[in-house]
Amino acid sequence: MNQHPPARRHGSFTGRIGIAREDITPPVGVYSRNWGAAKQDTADSIHRPLTLTALTLAPSSAADPLVLIDADLGWWRPLDLFHRFQKRLLEELSLESSRFIFALSHTHAAAPLMEPDPSLPGSELLSPWLERVYQATISTIEQALAGAEVATLDWHAGRCGLASVRDLPDPDPEADRIICGFNPSAEADDTLLVGRITDPSGTTRATIVNYACHPTTLAWENTSISPDYIGAMRETIQEATGATALFLQGMSGDVAPRHQYVGDVEVADRHGRQLGFAALSVLEDMEPAGSQLLFDGVVESGAPLANWRHESTEPSPELQAVEVAAELELKDWPTADELEQQRMACDDRALEERLRRRRDIRRSLGDGTSFPLAVHAWKIGDAVLVGCGGEAYSQLQQELRNRFPDVSLICMNLINGSVGYLPPADLYDLDIYPVWQTPFARGCLERISDTMTGAIEALQG
């Protein structure tokens, strides 16, 4: 016997939602060298402002909120700096760590999140700027909570072709390695997940874009502070909707724009418009908030016509948060002191930058043999957000979405700290940067995958 086709509905949440944003652009002259190949250490201009946006979610005014920060920042150097930042913030706002996510857009054209280093020009500006970032975090959270109103958050998936696989076998037959750049023979995960926040009148209050693509358009030739493509993406969406646009970086360890590593900011803006227009297309494809498209029988006409109509639904008010740790085995690296000695003896500018970063990672993780990497998972109505502080390859978000096909999954990298890449096990037999860079031994991605799967299953009950 034939059954009616299932209704078309979005993963939804309804409750009190707050949004607030502040400018966190660092000053011109700040230390901003994020590329080993860069010849300039400080920023000499501002392409677009960097912003920090707070999103708060609660089922009612009396309930404890979930707090999500979207910040135009690159990565923490070292991890301990974030832990101190987080501890201070959680104490000041009386938040539980499981209910707080500080997400980085991962722009490579911002001032680094690091302590001042007297040997680096412009680094004396980092401490006051970091304090400004902290105060903006507190302020936006308080504003979002104070201005929270009843609203509905719906999710819908689409596609965007901005991202490409960036693991390319070196064309030099003498070089047995994988280089970091566009691989035209590989197919990237193009999944684009868009969230839409609407008030009871149906007016869009905010949009959320979850997409996996390294913001590495601007590289060593760039001397401007910039959010990379994310700035023009937000502008494109906000001009069309009149509402705040947020960005959540997906699991982008192996994906980036095809055309990248440039100094021309217009290339970054073009990438942002591409993603922004794709997100707007997804928004136009969504059903009205709080409704589903339901099969309503057959109308006999020149042809038998399947009639569908919109029907009101009750979005879920459920919110849950879990924080679990994946114990990851560490590589047999030198100690932090040994790495610092290697760095001091190095006269190659690019290699010295690599050793500086490796030293900072080792200092963060200690000299043990394993490290508990935190995994955060939130149930937001019918949707689930999951992420960690590593840079997971995009195959992880593909696997998770295949395992939970009926769930709108917001998959994220670089939340609540940043440590290193999470490459798949088979890449550990190759000469490739993410394997060289990561402190984690073979099997780290697979371990994170199991941990995230367990967390999602626990939230689904």
Lookup result for tokens 């994310």: 230
Q: Using CA of residue 285, residue 106, residue 417, residue 20, what is the dihedral sign?
A: negative
Q: How many whole angstroms separate alpha carbon 121 and alpha carbon 136?
A: 25
Q: How many CB atoms lie within 10 A of CB 320?
A: 16
**Which residue's entry shows tokens 């939804």?**
12
Asked whether 413 and 189 are in contact (CB, 8 A), the reply is no
Quote the crossing angle between the two packed helices 395-403 and 444-460, to the nearest 10°: 30
Per-residue pLDDT at 1:
57
Q: Which residue do the tokens 């994946």 mark?
A: 326
Per-residue pLDDT of the chain (461 residues; tens, 9 = 90+): 578 899 999 999 999 999 999 999 999 999 999 998 999 999 999 999 999 999 999 999 889 999 999 999 999 988 999 999 999 999 999 999 999 999 999 999 999 999 999 999 999 999 999 999 999 999 999 999 999 999 999 999 999 999 999 999 999 989 999 999 999 999 999 999 999 999 999 999 999 999 999 999 999 999 999 999 999 999 999 999 999 999 999 999 999 999 999 999 999 999 999 999 999 999 999 999 999 999 999 999 999 999 999 999 999 999 999 999 999 999 987 777 777 888 888 877 777 777 777 777 777 777 788 999 999 999 999 999 999 999 999 999 999 999 999 999 999 999 999 999 999 999 999 999 999 999 999 999 999 999 999 999 999 97
Amino acid at 156: H
d(CA 360, CA 333): 12
Cis status of the peptide bond prior to 78, with omega within 30 of 0: yes
Residue 53 — left, alpha, or beta (φ > 0 → left; ψ -120 to 50 → alpha)?
beta
pLDDT at 352: 78
Measured between alpha carbons, how far is 445 from 422 in angstroms, rounded to an integer? 5
User: CA-CA distance, 222 to 90, in Å (whole number)?
Assistant: 36
- Exposure on the CB side of residue 241, measured as CA atoms within 13 A: 29
Q: Count other C-beta atoms under 10 Å from residue 226's C-beta.
A: 30
Helix axes 349-365, 336-344, angle to 10 degrees: 170
Return the pLDDT at 356: 75
Interstrand relation of 51-58 and 45-46 (parallel, antiparallel or unpaired): unpaired
Within 13 Å, how many C-alpha atoms sit on residue 319's CB side?
A: 20
pLDDT for position 196: 98
Contact between residue 352 and residue 35 where contact means Cβ atoms under 8 Å apart: no
pTM for this predicted structure: 0.95
Q: What is the pLDDT of residue 365?
A: 78
d(CA 440, CA 353): 20
Q: Cα–Cα distance between 201 and 290 in angstroms, integer?
A: 11
> How would you write the chain as a 3-class SS string?
CCCCCCCECCEEEEEEEEEEEEECCCCCCCECCCCCCCCCCECCEECCCCEEEEEEEECCCCCCCEEEEEECCCCEECHHHHHHHHHHHHHHHCCCHHHEEEEECCCCCCCCEECCCCCCCCHHHHHHHHHHHHHHHHHHHHHHHHCCEEEEEEEEEEECCCEEECEEECCCCCCCCEEECCCCCCCCCCEEEEEEEECCCCCEEEEEEEECCCCCCECCCCCEECCCHHHHHHHHHHHHHCCEEEEEECCCCCEEECCCCECCHHHHHHHHHHHHHHHHHHHHCCCCCCEEEEEEEEEECCCEEEEEEEEECCCECCEEEEEEEEEEEECCCCCHHHHHHHHHCCCCHHHHHHHHHHHHHHHHHCCCCEEEEEEEEEEECCEEEEEECCEECCHHHHHHHHHCCCCCEEEECCECCCCCEECCHHHHHCCEHHHHHCCECCCHHHHHHHHHHHHHHHHHC
Quote the CA–CA distance of 387 and 101 in Å, as a whole number.
9
Instruction: Work out the angle at residue 291's Cα, subtended by the Cα atoms of residues 288 and 293, and round it to the nearest 5 degrees.
Output: 95
CB 353 within 8 A of CB 73: no
